[in-house]
Amino acid sequence: MLAKSVLLHLRFPFSFFLLPVYLFALGVSPNFSEPRIIWSFLIIHVLLYPASNGYNSYFDRDEKSIGGLKNPPPVSKPLYFVSLVMDGLAIFLALKISILFAAMLFIYGMVSKAYSHPLIRLKKYPIIGWLVIGLFQGFFTFLMSYEGLNAFGLHNLSNLSVLTPALLSSVMLLGNYPMTQIYQHEEDNKRGDKTISIMLGIKGTFVFTAVFFALATVGFVWYFATYHAVKYAWYFLFSLAPVVVFFFAWFILVIKDERKADYQKTMILNFISSLCLNAFFVYFFLDSTQVIQAIKGGF
């Protein structure tokens, strides 16, 4: 029986915030199957991501709020070993799909470990840490999910129709990631981790995110209109409306008082953003793959 503290630090619910990239990959997958959907989802969101959360928590040893955990309990050695076992199990099970999928999981896991391990700790380098997270949780994760869903092999991942949404995923992550650090300035400064949010400052983080969010939105609208149908571009914009409203309402509060850049509002923004994007990408998948039409037709 795993200790409660271990389960808390694995932060299984946090996978919900990382789900949009996977659902985006699912929506553009031409060769998916039900077994691959189930296995790739479980491997990435129930094993890989929680293992990464636990490993990072073990070395960060945060005393204040972290993503998905308002009051983190002290970490213990079992957390370290459980995270490694889950990582290994994810890679082993990925072999059911393809060697490439398993190799990509291994690479993701190693980069994730380098982000927090004290010997490397990419987290303390603001630009490098930001770029690594943006690249691997966006571009690389999209390709990894795409391979897990389709099992096409390496040659197919170089197609422009696959690389374009992968790049857009990274642009979105590059804008979103600094916001996840905005309430941790005190904790990160105490450890000597100069994150990109610290470098930008609290108000600067909001401006930076707004600029990248605008760029990503333009890119997604162009992508859906060019590669799929204009209606998806419009639906994408509509799905983001609640995110934009909350973001700017919160920014106004922060302009008046920077202490409003707290954990609770960060998690609310993450939840609204993830909920809206997940809902859109589920619709996109069901509609673009004709599943909705098949249901309406009685199949």
What's the pLDDT tens digit per position in 246-265?
A: 999 999 999 999 889 898 99
Q: What does the pLDDT read at residue 73?
A: 82
Q: Check the CA dihedral 214-215-216-220 and report its sign.
A: positive
pLDDT value, residue 293: 54
- Mean pLDDT, residues 151-162 taken together: 90
Reported as a single tens digit per residue, the pLDDT across 16-38 is 999 999 999 999 999 988 999 99
Give me the pLDDT at residue 8, please: 87
pTM, 2 dp: 0.92
Look up tokens 């939840």; give the residue.
271
CB atoms within 10 A of CB 60: 22
Share of the chain above pLDDT 90, in %: 69
Q: pLDDT class for 3, splitting at 50, 70, 90?
A: confident
Q: How confident is the model at residue 163 (pLDDT cuts 50, 70, 90)?
A: very high
Task: Give the phi and the psi of residue 168 in degrees, each rounded to 5.
Answer: -65, -35
Say if residues 147 and 100 touch (Cβ distance below 8 Å): yes
Sign of CA dihedral 36, 37, 38, 43: positive
Checking phi first, is residue 62 left (phi over 0); if not, alpha (psi -120 to 50) or beta?
A: beta
pLDDT value, residue 88: 96
Does pLDDT of 192 surpass 80? no
Contact yes or no for 142/115 (Cβ under 8 A): no
CA 2 remoteness from chain centre: 26
Report the pLDDT value the prediction gives residue 103, as an integer from 0 to 100: 97
Helix extents (H) in 181-262:
185-191, 196-200, 202-223, 230-256
Phi, psi of 290 (to 5 degrees): 70, 15
Select 4-290's CATH number: 3.30.70, 1.10.150, 1.10.600, 1.10.3470: 1.10.600
> What's the rounded mean pLDDT across residues 32-45?
95
Q: Taking the CA of residue 214 as centre, how many other CA atoms within 13 Å lie in the half-sphere pointing to its CB?
A: 6
Arithmetic mean of pLDDT, 91-102:
96
> Does the pLDDT at position 194 exceed 80?
yes
The pLDDT, as a whole number, for residue 99 is 96
How large is the average pLDDT for residues 207-224? 96
Distance of alpha carbon 216 from alpha carbon 194, whole angstroms = 25
- Residue 66 three-state SS: strand
